[in-house]
Amino acid sequence: MAQKLWEKNVQVNEEIDRFTVGRDREMDLYLAKHDILGSMAHITMLESIGLLTSDELKVLLDELKNIYASAEKGEFVIEDGIEDVHSQVELMLTRRLGDVGKKIHSGRSRNDQVLVDLKLFTRAQLKNLAESVEELFRVLIAQSNRYKDVLMPGYTHLQIAMPSSFGLWFGAYAESLVDDMLFLQAAYRMCNRNPLGSAAGYGSSFPLNREMTTRLLGFDSMNYNVVYAQMGRGKMERNVAFAMASIAGTLSKMAFDACMFSCQNFGFVKLPDECTTGSSIMPHKKNPDVFELTRAKCNKIQALPQQIMMIMNNLPSGYFRDLQIIKEVFLPAFQELEDCLHMATYIMDKIKINEHILDDDKYLYMFSVEEVNRLAAEGMPFRDAYKKVGLDIEAGKFTHNKEVHHTHEGSIGNLCNDRITALMDDVISGFHFEVAERAENALLGR
């Protein structure tokens, strides 16, 4: 068994080692690139305060860039017996460069290493999510504009209620994503603060230049108080999980609608054939499995904040090993949500719309409010108009031309998609992803 960074003369029991390490080595592969970036910024700062020579810094940076390249290609591995990504990187440096590789840990702890790794990883994942949300948003707005004049029934209590339109239906989910993106931006801004230099949660006697590492890594600012930097472990993940859950809630509801509207009892939409599956005994079946799985995956993601809260809840200040378990539920969730977004974008772009739903007279009564409003506009008191139309329906005498004339903001005839798009554009511009991207490229010499 390889010696741990923290071991002295006594090796830990193998069963205890297996239990305490758990899935950390597997989870740390998500963090490998980001751990290397954090080390590059840290040692650049160490050289500036005299803890490394310029020659030592150069060879360390060159070797870290090589390790980063291997991580980018998916070739980075954490060897058997090595506890985590931090230990693996330091081991690789020491093997290749000798004792100089052991100098990179001055002024930091694995506590602030994993904090900065998680921040950098999450920052990158939030950028990917924001781009995927925007892609779905653009598709929904395009479909809303395309089908703005196609009417469909609106429902309350799953009873036919009032006229709606596919313009409204697509556009509603587009605007929902604007609010989700606002949550995502808040999560990004809370995430984009530098914890490096907090060490084990109480700072360091070395004269660390935390402003320098903040700038080198492209953070907006730092977590100033070193105790709070450590207290942020778990809190950051929980806040991000709430933003992810908000997106997942929108997707789950949209998936349910699409499943329901595509069944024969509704027949409002037709999903792309390549996105449906068949039955082993019923040759006519075309099942909306993609959206059913999306619904389930997104409902699972909506439980993520609660999972994280139950792990971190009631912990006092300082570091505790409980926090390690958060990685197991948090790190893989990004790819799951990404997959759901990509599937939803593909299907909503290719979905076929039934433009003749209202040919069926079973939807006639959804125009009852239109008739009440018409009579009221002509001078009849609203309550009298309501009663007249209700009695006509009961007597089987109700008729309507199946046309609507809605003009106010956000209604069938005035979708305000341009304003919804402007809202989304404003939120997207507030992320400032380019700052972090420039800083990381500069560290890597790109």
Same domain, 271 and 191: yes
How far is the C-alpha of 166 from the C-alpha of 106, rounded, in Å?
A: 61
Q: Provide the total of helices (H) and of strands (E) in the chain, helices listed first.
A: 18, 6
- Note the pLDDT tens digit of each residue in 170-188: 999 999 999 999 999 999 9
Closest CA to 236 of 125, 131, 335, 321: 125
pLDDT attached to residue 274:
86
Per annotation, catalytic residue among 48, 70, 157, 246: 157
With cut-offs at 50, 70 and 90, classify the pLDDT of residue 336: very high
Q: Do 170 and 215 share a domain, yes or no?
A: yes
- Assess if residue 435 is contained within a domain: no
Q: Is residue 399 part of a domain?
A: no
CATH of the domain at 292: 1.20.200.10
* Active-site residue, selected from the candidate residues 221, 279, 342, 405: 279
Last residue of a domain, one of 100, 124, 156: 100
What would the pLDDT profile of 282-335 be if each residue is shown by its tens digit? Answer: 777 788 889 999 999 999 999 999 999 999 988 889 888 889 999 999 999 999
pLDDT at res. 6: 44
Are 216 and 44 in contact by the 8 Å Cβ rule? The answer is yes
Q: How far is CA 360 from CA 134, 146, 156, 397, 445, in A?
A: 36, 23, 19, 17, 65
Residues 85 and 118 in one domain: no
In this prediction, residue 161 carries a pLDDT of 92
The total number of structural domains that make up the chain: 3
Predicted pLDDT of residue 163: 92
Range of the domain at 114: 108-357+410-430
Tokens representing 182 are: 């606002």
Q: Is residue 3 part of a domain?
A: no
Q: Write out pLDDT tens, residues 20-76.
A: 777 777 888 999 999 999 999 999 999 999 999 999 999 999 999 999 999 999 999
> Does the residue 290 lie in any domain?
yes
Q: Do 320 and 365 belong to one domain?
A: no
For residue 325, what are the CA distances in angstroms to 173, 245, 319, 330?
34, 19, 13, 9
Cα–Cα distance between 255 and 291 in angstroms, integer?
A: 5
Asked if 157 is an active-site residue, the reply is yes
Looking at residue 177, its amino acid is L
Instruction: Name the pLDDT band for 12 (thresholds 50, 70, 90).
Output: low
Asked whether residue 274 is domain-assigned, the answer is yes
- 195 and 51 share a domain? no
Contact 275, 238 (CB under 8 A): no
How do residues 119-173 score in pLDDT, each as one tens digit?
999 999 999 999 999 999 999 999 999 999 999 999 999 999 999 999 999 999 9
47 and 70, same domain (yes or no): yes
Categorize the per-residue pLDDT at 279 as very low, low, confident or very high, splitting at 50, 70 and 90: low
DSSP H or E stretch at residue 164: strand 159-165
Quote the percentage of the chain above a pLDDT of 70. Answer: 97
Q: What is the mean pLDDT of residues 95-104?
A: 94
242, 135: one domain:
yes
Asked if residue 173 is part of any domain, the answer here is: yes
- How many Å is the Cα radius of gyration of the chain? 28
Lowest average pLDDT, out of 41-50, 273-282, 402-411, 431-440, goes to 273-282
Q: Is 39 a catalytic residue?
A: no
The mean of the pLDDT values for the chain is 93
144 with 200, same domain?
A: yes
Q: Are residues 353 and 215 in the same domain?
A: yes
| pLDDT interval class at 1 (50, 70, 90) | very low
375 and 312 belong to one structural domain:
no
What pLDDT is recorded for position 3? 46
Residue finishing a domain among 347, 368, 393: 393
| Type of residue found at 233 | R
Q: Are residues 372 and 422 in the same domain?
A: no
State whether 256 and 271 are in the same domain: yes
Q: Is residue 400 part of a domain?
A: no
Q: What's the CA gap between 414 and 171, in Å, rounded?
A: 11
Question: Span 105-118, mean pLDDT?
Answer: 94
- The domain that holds 23 is classified in CATH as 1.10.275.10
pLDDT of 440 strictly over 70: yes
Among 196, 241, 242, 201, smallest CA distance to 221 is for 196
Decide if 401 is inside a domain. no
